[in-house]
Amino acid sequence: MRDAGPCQSQIDPCLFTLRVTGKLCGICGIHVDDLLGGGTPAMNTILNQFRTKLPFGDYRTFTIRYTGIEVRQNSNTFEIEIGQEAYIDAMECVQT
């Protein structure tokens, strides 16, 4: 991942960020054999470069479920939103 361009966090070695002229353009976290990343088109370019060196098994964009959390990225603004609505709904079903 470092060879592709993002900087590795000094606090968490599994977290990588991409900054262009000081502005955060992407973030990528790695957990065991799962990778979760997002950001601007500049980050997509980095992730695509990474995929050529280490092919991903399942490559999803814009809406995914990762460790029980739904992660959504707006395709126009590239903002990222997370939620656990499905998890909460499942808990409500158990309670009633």
Inter-residue contact 49 to 4 (CB < 8 Å):
yes
Same domain, 37 and 76: no
What pLDDT was estimated at residue 62? 72
Provide the residue range defining the domain that includes 35.
1-59
What's the pTM?
Answer: 0.64
Same domain, 52 and 8: yes
Same domain, 38 and 83: no
**Measured between alpha carbons, how far is 11 from 70 in angstroms, rounded to an integer?**
25
Domains in the chain, number: 2
- How many alpha carbons lie under 13 Å from residue 64 in its C-beta half-sphere? 14
pLDDT per residue as tens, the chain (96 positions): 777 778 999 999 999 999 989 999 999 888 877 778 878 888 888 888 877 777 766 666 678 877 778 888 887 887 888 888 877 777 766 655
